[in-house]
Amino acid sequence: MEIKQEDIRKVESYRWVVWTILALMYIFVTFHRMATGVVKSDLEETFKIGAAQFANIGSMYFYAYFLMQIPSGILADKIGPKKTVTWFSILAAVGSVVFGLAPNLTVAYIGRFLVGIGVSVVFICLIKIQSRWFYSKNFALMIGFVGLAANAGALLAQTPLVYAASAFGWRSTFVYLGAAMVFFAVLTMIFVKDDPTDIGLPGMDELEGRPAVKVDLKVGEALKSVLSNPRTWTVSVVNIGMYVGYIVLLGQFGVPYLMTGYGLEKVQAANLIISAVIGSAVGAMAIGYVSDKIMKRKIVLVLLSAITLAAWIVFIYFKLPVGMLPAFLFMHGFVMTNFTMTWTIANEVNDRRLAGIATGVVNCVGFAGAATIPVYMGKILDANLANPLIGYQKAYFVLIVVVAISLVASFFATETNAKNVYESK
């Protein structure tokens, strides 16, 4: 039966409604992820804590996110993004309010953990939506668009957050965020559809002339398929160094390091980190576009991983002129965003029905690193309070070693030529 052109146009139009709502929700995800770095001094003053305990506040989010990545993939593949994002976003909203009203450090930990659980599902559900609403040939580019949304959240968590915390207080800011998340959860419930077929339109399987994907997958078999695939683990190791570096620079110790190493004020340091955020946003788009255009994944991954390692070494051990930092940090943010390529490769080396689980496994490994490495760095900083700059150099050395390991792993990644190669494994 021939597909009506009108139905194709409807799919290509409504998919942006679905995608945009989840992308806007993803802005909250990355905002919460990065926010603690900018309000570090406020949190330390409020709860009377040091660098290690501060890092634990950030890590509570990542512990929760780590624990939920594979379950998130199962939920996305099993019950669909619509229900998953709606209910978990409400939980995240509750967590944000709890964090904002926390009377002590323990309650603050609980609030951050609830936020991490709640927002943990959004990214994977967004990737799942893209696999069901967008053409396969545009997969890496669409992940680039996700990166754009992510960096919008990271951008808001820099200088704008400094001003918001100054105007309303850090507590009220997080309470207001919780209210806003409830609003977007309602939009998700009303307008998001898991698949074009849910509203009587042809699905991507039909539009691309491939066998229809069945939703009622068996969880045990699906997990075994992804977890037993060595190609999944290779890109997961690459993800650790690249993604943890992104988190450390944009969300944990980037602003404090610039304040210590360069004697900058908080707003000046946050503005410089915005250069990295913008670089990351541009990188997410450009990397996906170029990779799709040349139909290569591995060469992009290896090249950008090598440049990322070199950039970290320069940033930490060579004091650059302040006037060079905006351009340097833009470039640094650009190249380290090659972690987006690990999600693309993970989807192309696994059964295409398991987009949620494949993405979840890679994220699970990456977020395990994001939960533990900054805390270890914080302990090094606490042990070097007499000489903070030396402390930062020692702490960042740990990260540089992890990035080097990820670079080595990138040489063993699979070249998919921008196609799903699962059947050829």
Amino acid at 400: I
What is the number of other CB atoms lying within 10 angstroms of the CB of residue 32?
A: 27
What's the CA gap between 65 and 72, in Å, rounded?
Answer: 9
What's the CA gap between 403 and 409, in Å, rounded?
Answer: 10
Task: Report the share of the chain in percent with pLDDT over 90.
Answer: 41
Q: What is the CATH number of the domain that holds 406?
A: 1.20.1250.20
Please check the confidence at residue 132 and state whether its pLDDT lies above 90: no
Please check the confidence at residue 219 and state whether its pLDDT lies above 80: no
Mean pLDDT computed over every residue of the chain: 87
Domain boundaries, position 191:
5-206+218-424
pLDDT, tens digit (0-9, with 9 covering 90-100), for 30-70: 888 778 877 878 888 888 888 778 888 878 888 888 888 88
User: How much is the CA Rg of the chain, to the nearest whole Å?
Assistant: 21
Pick the most confident of 131-145, 150-164, 227-241: 227-241
pLDDT, tens digit (0-9, with 9 covering 90-100), for 260-301: 989 888 888 888 988 998 898 888 888 888 988 898 999 999
Residue 134: partners with Cβ closer than 8 Å, 6 or more residues away: 15, 19, 142, 204
Please check the confidence at residue 133 and state whether its pLDDT lies above 60: yes
- Terminal Cα-to-Cα distance of the chain (whole angstroms): 33
Q: Tell me, yes or no, whether 13 lies in a domain.
A: yes
What is the per-residue pLDDT for 68? 87
One DSSP character per residue, 310-323 reads HHHHHHHHS---GG
What is the per-residue pLDDT for 151? 75
What is the per-residue pLDDT for 211? 62
Q: Tell me, yes or no, whether 333 lies in a domain.
A: yes
Q: Tell me, yes or no, whether 213 lies in a domain.
A: no
What's the CA gap between 351 and 362, in Å, rounded?
Answer: 15
What is the per-residue pLDDT for 182? 95
More confident residue, 111 or 155: 111
Please check the confidence at residue 425 and state whether its pLDDT lies above 60: no
What is the per-residue pLDDT for 65? 82
Amino acid at 159: T
Question: Which residue matches tokens 């980037």?
Answer: 254
More confident residue, 360 or 112: 112
* Contact in structure between 94 and 118 (CB atoms under 8 Å): yes
Going by C-alpha positions, the residue among 117, 115, 113, 100 that lies closest to residue 43 is 100
Q: Tell me, yes or no, whether 413 lies in a domain.
A: yes
Tally the domains of the chain. 1
**What's the rounded mean pLDDT across residues 208-234?**
78
**What's the rounded mean pLDDT across residues 98-120?**
93
**What's the rounded mean pLDDT across residues 235-259?**
89
Q: Tell me, yes or no, whether 101 lies in a domain.
A: yes
What is the per-residue pLDDT for 175? 94
What is the per-residue pLDDT for 213? 58
What is the number of other CB atoms lying within 10 angstroms of the CB of residue 189?
A: 16
Q: Tell me, yes or no, whether 211 lies in a domain.
A: no
What is the per-residue pLDDT for 1? 58
Q: Report how far apart, in Å, the C-alpha atoms of 203 and of each of 87, 112, 196, 355 are.
A: 25, 38, 5, 16
Q: Tell me, yes or no, whether 227 lies in a domain.
A: yes
Please check the confidence at residue 424 and state whether its pLDDT lies above 60: no
**What's the rounded mean pLDDT across residues 107-135?**
90
80: left (phi over 0), alpha (psi -120 to 50) or beta: left
Q: Tell me, yes or no, whether 273 lies in a domain.
A: yes
More confident residue, 127 or 92: 92
pLDDT, tens digit (0-9, with 9 covering 90-100), for 332-350: 999 998 998 998 899 889 9
What is the per-residue pLDDT for 197? 87
**What's the rounded mean pLDDT across residues 151-177?**
85
pTM, entire model: 0.75
More confident residue, 210 or 33: 33
Question: Which residue matches tokens 């800011």?
Answer: 173
More confident residue, 145 or 324: 324
